[in-house]
Amino acid sequence: DVKVTQSSRYLVKRTGEKVFLECVQDMDHENMFWYRQDPGLGLRLIYFSYDVKMKEKGDIPEGYSVSREKKERFSLILESASTNQTSMYLCASETARTASDGELFFGEGSRLTVL
Amino acid sequence: AQKVTQAQTEISVVEKEDVTLDCVYETRDTTYYLFWYKQPPSGELVFLIRRNSFDEQNEISGRYSWNFQKSTSSFNFTITASQVVDSAVYFCALSESGSNYKLTFGKGTLLTVNP
């Protein structure tokens, strides 16, 4: 079974702290994604990566950065956490994008609270 | 502009009832894909189905069925004889050739099936 593992299920951080959310997948997938999920807003794409050291902005990249040094690991970084970044963060992966792809495998999510 | 609309925010049914979750999409592309994902209380989204724009055939998988109608830009999901385990948030999603097949999710419908 494909496994996408997010390092922390729950985090509580202070405003201004640097926050790292880690995601690891074990199926050699090329593509990885970070979404945030908020009530009433659904899932919104923050960043995605199609290959090691490659990254592209999603719909709401402001306040975030990412790192993909190894194929299996995709990290989301909040350089200076703010209260409006309190949210559920979901990592996902999929095999190389083809015209018929879109079957994402998701982790269980990381619920971040910024005080 | 919102491209995937799930007008039903919450639905509550009694076990064994049939329930339909609505999804309306908007796209200018002729090649696109539609998806449904399920998010149970554990938090991990699970892929249910993918449909391409050239295949309007309805699909049935056990108690689940999907009705794709291009004329009304809808991709509705019906659960027959609902069960408590069907309680989850259900997301409809769209990927378009013009957006490099990135997924755009609807806001989700929370389905509660009561015993």
pLDDT of residue A101: 66
- Could you tell me the two tokens for A102? 């879109």
B107 and A42 within 8 Å at the Cβ level: the answer is yes
Q: Is A45 helix (H, G, I), strand (E, B) or coil?
A: strand
Q: Which residue of A has its CA nearest to B90?
A: A42
Q: Is the pLDDT of residue B13 over 50?
A: yes
Residue among A35, A45, A97 whose CB faces B101 most closely:
A97
pLDDT of residue B1: 54
Block residue for tokens 């149970």: B40
pLDDT of residue B91: 96
Phi, psi at B70, each rounded to 5°: -65, -30
Task: Report, as an integer, the average pLDDT of A23-47.
Answer: 92
Decide if B63 touches A, using CB distance below 8 A: no
Instruction: Kindly list the distances between the CA atom of residue B47 and the CA atoms of A16, A70, A92, A107, B40, in Å, as whole numbers in the listed order.
Output: 36, 25, 11, 12, 12
Among A6, A33, A35, A37, pick the best mutation site for testing chain B contact (most B Cβ within 10 A).
Answer: A37
Q: Is the pLDDT of residue A46 over 50?
A: yes
The C-alpha of A44 sits at a distance from chain B's nearest C-alpha, in angstroms, of 7
Cα distance between residue A36 and residue A91, in whole Å: 9
Q: Is the pLDDT of residue A74 over 50?
A: yes
pLDDT of residue B68: 95
Decide if A97 touches B, using CB distance below 8 A: yes
Chain A residues in contact with B102 (beta carbon < 8 A) = 45, 48, 58
